[in-house]
Structure 1
Amino acid sequence: MDPVVETIRQEFAAQADPGIRKNAQRFFKEEARCYGMKTATAISIAKKYWKEVKTRDKQEIFALCEELYRSGMMEEAFVVSQWAAQLADRYEPGDITVFRHWIETYITNWATCDGLCNHAVGDFIVRYPDEIEELKRWTQSENRWMRRAAAVSLIVPAKHGEFLDEALAIADLLLTDTDDLVQKGYGWLLKEASRKHTDEVFSYVMANKRDMPRTALRYAIELMPKDLKAEAMKKDW
């Protein structure tokens, strides 16, 4: 084990709170393994140790991330999310295969999925927009976290008005997904896209609401004016 990983684990163990650990489980349907601490505490520890590893070669940092992921502990996954995002100015096109491997192999709940994808994978897509095609392939995976990842990786750029067509294309591919966490993922993506493109997202929802699960629909219209919400929620069948 790399000494920095061992030190991080020791610090997490020292900060662990059994009360927070017990309480954390209520946010997840699946088992969530964690030390038990506020997310902000875990992130501050990640930032602290980033100062020690940031001068290392990118592949070496990726190897440290893999070592952290292998524990299955949520806070260690949060360290990976922080460190991977810090590497954004060193990304190369082939790095998407690393992210795909991590999601397929180590992601086991919505928090670790969103932690990695909202920033690291999203930043990667902004730098290499052609890799949207890879996200589209993820929508066809049997792995629910790959499918959710396809949507939530565009959350931040969508919030800023970018990738509208691509967001709608991914929503199309996930439209009738039966998994509620995937539905919430693409619904969230549409909601963020609606900040700058209310009319377009409303039109999309109205055109697809007969097929769109109510969970996704409610997320998608959350930020819209009351009259548009009411129109979207009308049952016209």
Structure 2
Amino acid sequence: MDTVIIHIRQELESLADTQFQETSRRFFKESIVCYGIKTPVVTALAKKYWKEIKSREKQEIFSLCEELYRSGQLEESFIVSTWTYLLSGRYERKDIDIFRRWIDTYITNWASCDGFCNHALGDFIEIFPECIANLKQWTRSGNRWMRRAAAVSLIIPAKHGKFLHEALEIADLLLLDNEDMVQKGYGWLLKEASRHHQADVFEYVIRNRQVMPRTALRYAIELMPPELKNEAMKKELPGEK
């Protein structure tokens, strides 16, 4: 095993907090394995070791990331998210296949999914927007984390006003998904899109609110003024059939 991985795990074990470990587990429906370390501490650790590995070949760094993912430890997945984001200047179009495999194979909770997809994959999509076609394919996956990834990978671009049309397309593809983590994912995407495109998102919600799960709808309208929220939450608008 690479000495960097050994040193990282030794340091993580030295920072482990059993009390925070128990607190962390309350945020997840599924069972998770974690050291019990706050995210800013893990991010600082990732950046510290990044200085040691950044000069390595990208594929070697990817191999280190995969070794960290194999542990199943939540904090080690956060290190992968940080390192992959720091690699953004070296992304290639073909990397989408590696990222897809990582999500499908190793990601088993919302925190690992969002940590990786919001920043690393979000940056990747801005560099290679044609890969939104891949995200659309992921909406058909039997893996709920792949489906959530399809939405949350556009969170940061949507927050900055980008990819409205594509965000609405992905929401359409996930509209009737019965998994709450997926509903929250595309609802969150619509919420971020509403920062710059409130009217478009409101119109989308009104058009679909009869079938949109309430979980997704509530997320989508979270930033809207009370009068729009009230309209969106109505079961039926005047004159609507």
TM-score after normalising by structure 1: 0.99
Unaligned stretches of 5+ residues in structure 2: none
2:177 — aligned with what?
Answer: 177
1:218 — aligned with what?
Answer: 218
Percent identity over the alignment is: 65
Cα distance between partner residues in 2 of 1:133 and 1:38: 35
Structure 1 residue 118 corresponds to structure 2 residue 125: no
- Encode CA deviations 1:37-60: one digit per residue, 9 max, x unaligned: 111111110111011100111100
2:140 — aligned with what?
Answer: 140
TM-score after normalising by structure 2: 0.98
Q: How does 1:94-173 map to 2 (within 5 A)?
A: 94-173=94-173
Cα distance between partner residues in 1 of 2:143 and 2:198: 31
Cα distance between partner residues in 2 of 1:7 and 1:69: 16
Q: What is the identity, as a one-letter code, of the residue corresponding to 1:25?
A: R
1:82 — aligned with what?
Answer: 82
The alignment's C-alpha RMSD in Å is 0.6
1:63 — aligned with what?
Answer: 63
2:201 — aligned with what?
Answer: 201
Cα distance between partner residues in 2 of 1:107 and 1:94: 20
Q: How many pairs align?
A: 237
Q: What is the identity, as a one-letter code, of the residue corresponding to 1:20?
A: F
Give 3-state SS (helix, strand or coil) of 2:161's partner: coil
Cα distance between partner residues in 2 of 1:167 and 1:179: 19
Q: How does 1:16-95 map to 2 (within 5 A)?
A: 16-95=16-95
Please report how far the alpha carbon of residue 80 of structure 1 lies from its aligned counterpart in structure 2 after TM superposition: 0.1
Cα distance between partner residues in 2 of 1:192 and 1:38: 25
1:232 — aligned with what?
Answer: 232
Give 3-state SS (helix, strand or coil) of 2:147's partner: helix
Please report how far the alpha carbon of residue 74 of structure 1 lies from its aligned counterpart in structure 2 after TM superposition: 0.4
Cα distance between partner residues in 2 of 1:22 and 1:63: 30
Cα distance between partner residues in 2 of 1:171 and 1:108: 22
- Encode CA deviations 1:123-155: one digit per residue, 9 max, x unaligned: 111000011000000000000000000000000
Q: What is the identity, as a one-letter code, of the residue corresponding to 1:86?
A: L
Q: What is the identity, as a one-letter code, of the residue corresponding to 1:49?
A: Y
Q: What is the identity, as a one-letter code, of the residue corresponding to 1:168?
A: L
1:191 — aligned with what?
Answer: 191
Task: Give the ranges of 4+ consecutive aligned residues of structure 1 lying more than 2 Å apart after TM superposition.
Answer: none
Contact 1:24 1:32 in 2 (8 A): no
Q: What is the identity, as a one-letter code, of the residue corresponding to 2:16?
A: A
Cα distance between partner residues in 2 of 1:128 and 1:47: 25
Unaligned stretches of 5+ residues in structure 1: none
